[in-house]
A and B are shown apart, each in its own frame.
Chain A
């Protein structure tokens, strides 16, 4: 019997365990496998294989019986208020899978399937600069980042070369250049707006083609992944049969699989990380099988926690031991605190006079982007908030159809839509939020989910800094529009709740000091060095850039460090 147990335990022992298979879990798996480590990836959701599990990826609108509308009998279990569509219904999470308690309004988007949110993301990849890493220490909030741009720069390069980024070399200090393939170009109105901004603001404000994880000129490394050029289908959130955009499913996971070192275990809900009080280190992970509900253990020398920001917090909080009664690595009580996100509350739109003789053709999977311009080089004296916001910009010339009538006239109107008189511009703010201790997540003491895991309580809210920043965005956008000659300007604070941005971060923040942070500059838990937290949970501050690229670069960096440390016998 004892012998059988040893055999069984050995079969469940790996060099490394990665919790989660999204953008960062995929990167951890790739780097660890490339280094020859026998790696187990645990994904709580179902398996999603590239191409074969994208049932709607090549369907035209008319091939959906209800043209995308979800039949009533398929809507049950998703709760109300969700915009369900047949194109993407298979990615939706049922409410009973992981109920949570929003103590204050909060929306928690999750991608619980192999590939996670990397399959569904907006694919925008702007680098951080030192203005972001130095933010907390300059402006006196959170704690100092223990890393700077030079620490992450080679890892941005590393990730970008493999993922494939479309963009320009813009030479803007606050938005360092990426390793790029040709940009998905701006249109004629965006070029005009870019010039107008330059005319009025000089080098203080820029409009550029957003950098995005699309292949516009696939290189050998991408062909090796089996991916090909983006063909602008713009149905990305169904999965892309071409691998035209980066996802774990199309890129890192199959790559890791090819090394022969990866074991992928879907349907594995992580309960907690196992800390051995005698060995004084983490020895593995407890998992509940989603189907059998059986609890089982897997063992490894190192554990990467990449379960998505809030879920990673949850797992660590639920990892209790004699040594860590309040959650793994949580001696200072800060685990789950200083949650932050991005402020997407502001929208602004306008009409663009002129350009009546111009239109667009084809489709575009990306946007234009205005990097943060507020408080970049210093805290500006006339600005009543800290930090700043970037702006997403989308323009186009739609068409319209008069449907007031019925009969022959209606048919002809529909068959012959008229180009809109004017082009339209729409912009949205992407604001940095300042992490505050009161914005936190914690485990419920009495409510559990169907796996017996305590439910997460989310307690996050806007504060005055966010309100003032939103107001400034609305004013500045109005001013920029006016200076460009745009009309019918409409601005709005949508008051969307925190989390609606899908950029929640923090709770396991990085810092120099174990007294005030949870992980060190290598993403290792200060008090459990063989555990690495490299998803959004690790973020000390949020920047204003779409964060996934930075998470991925931090992950690749940490994974290679972990391998080196393991080799040296330090873990």
Chain B
């Protein structure tokens, strides 16, 4: 999908974000923002960018190709108390402002290195709600990624029906 189209489907143009995040360039048509969410399309895009920063894609394996960003939005909407959810939204905004201030660009338009730098500053923050935001989004991003079909089957050897147990297997050198 072209950057412009992705931008449109996400509704980011309306939100005033002119440039398209780099990670969106690989998106396909199914990657539209979740409409019935309490997260605005901007917040969804920011959250996706966070997930993309935590686990960037390589060879089409990463948070975005494995749709972890969608998992996060739905998870935070349905499984987390409002208080935690609101903190996530607040911190996304704080994070974006920080990017504007430090790097003169939106969080999404910042480089991977810059985005990592911002997120890591949250992990070391003395503000508990910033730390909590970082830890929560990181843990859930990892969980979403690790439990995705591609990672479990292609990388971790998971089989729904293994059919056996072998308790004496030589480790390959």
Interface residue ranges, A against B (CB under 8 Å): 58, 60-62, 65-67, 69-73, 184-190, 231-233, 356-364, 403, 406-408, 410-411, 414-417, 419
8 A-B contacts (beta carbon < 8 Å)? A61-B158, A359-B169, A361-B162, A407-B53, A407-B54, A407-B55, A411-B57, A414-B145
Shortest distance from the beta carbon of B61 to any chain A beta carbon, whole Å = 7
Shortest distance from the beta carbon of A427 to any chain B beta carbon, whole Å = 17
Chain B, range 132-162, C-beta contacts under 8 Å to A: 138, 142-149, 151-152, 155-158, 160-162
A231's contact among B75, B112, B119, B162, by CB below 8 Å, is which?
B162
Apart from A60-B158, A61-B147, 20 more pairs, CB < 8 Å: A60-B160, A61-B158, A62-B148, A67-B71, A69-B79, A72-B79, A72-B80, A187-B168, A232-B163, A232-B164, A233-B162, A356-B171, A359-B170, A360-B165, A362-B164, A363-B165, A406-B119, A407-B54, A407-B56, A410-B54
B120 contacts chain A at the CB level, 8 A cutoff: yes
Q: Residue on A with the closest CB to B163?
A: A231
A364 to B168, CA, bound (A): 13
A71 to B157, CA, bound (A): 29
Contact across chains for B78 and A73 when beta carbons are under 8 A apart? yes
Number of residue pairs across A and B with beta carbons under 8 Å?
A: 122
Q: Residue on A with the closest CB to B50?
A: A406
A190 to B58, CA, bound (A): 40
- Complex interface: chain B residues within 8 A of A66 (CB): 71, 74-75, 78-79
B81 contacts chain A at the CB level, 8 A cutoff: yes
Contact across chains for B71 and A188 when beta carbons are under 8 A apart? no
Q: Are A362 and B152 also in contact (CB < 8 A) when A66-B74, A407-B116 are?
A: no
Shortest distance from the beta carbon of B138 to any chain A beta carbon, whole Å = 7
Among all A-B residue pairs, the 10 with the closest Cβ atoms: A187-B167, A71-B78, A364-B165, A188-B168, A362-B165, A362-B164, A362-B162, A231-B163, A62-B149, A361-B166
- Complex interface: chain B residues within 8 A of A60 (CB): 149, 152, 158, 160
A188 to B167, CA, bound (A): 6
Contact across chains for A231 and B161 when beta carbons are under 8 A apart? yes
Looking at B149, B161, B166, B167, which has the most chain A CB atoms within 10 Å of its CB? B167
- Complex interface: chain B residues within 8 A of A62 (CB): 147-149, 152
Q: Are A184 and B165 also in contact (CB < 8 A) when A60-B152, A406-B53 are?
A: yes
Contact across chains for B78 and A72 when beta carbons are under 8 A apart? yes
Contact across chains for A419 and B171 when beta carbons are under 8 A apart? yes
Q: Are A408 and B165 also in contact (CB < 8 A) when A61-B147, A69-B79, A416-B155 are?
A: no
B21 contacts chain A at the CB level, 8 A cutoff: no
Q: Are A58 and B160 also in contact (CB < 8 A) when A67-B144, A414-B142 are?
A: yes
- Complex interface: chain B residues within 8 A of A67 (CB): 71, 143-144, 147
Shortest distance from the beta carbon of A483 to any chain B beta carbon, whole Å = 22
Contact across chains for A186 and B167 when beta carbons are under 8 A apart? yes
- Complex interface: chain B residues within 8 A of A407 (CB): 53-56, 112, 116
A231 to B162, CA, bound (A): 6
Chain B, range 17-59, C-beta contacts under 8 Å to A: 53-58
A321 to B132, CA, bound (A): 62
Contact across chains for B165 and A232 when beta carbons are under 8 A apart? yes
Q: Residue on B with the closest CB to A186?
A: B167
Shortest distance from the beta carbon of A488 to any chain B beta carbon, whole Å = 21
Looking at B81, B116, B158, B161, which has the most chain A CB atoms within 10 Å of its CB? B161
Shortest distance from the beta carbon of A481 to any chain B beta carbon, whole Å = 19
- Complex interface: chain B residues within 8 A of A232 (CB): 161-165
Contact across chains for B78 and A411 when beta carbons are under 8 A apart? no
- Complex interface: chain A residues within 8 A of B158 (CB): 60-61
- Complex interface: chain B residues within 8 A of A184 (CB): 165
Q: Residue on A with the closest CB to B62?
A: A411
Contact across chains for A415 and B151 when beta carbons are under 8 A apart? yes
A190 to B165, CA, bound (A): 14
- Complex interface: chain A residues within 8 A of B162 (CB): 231-233, 361-363
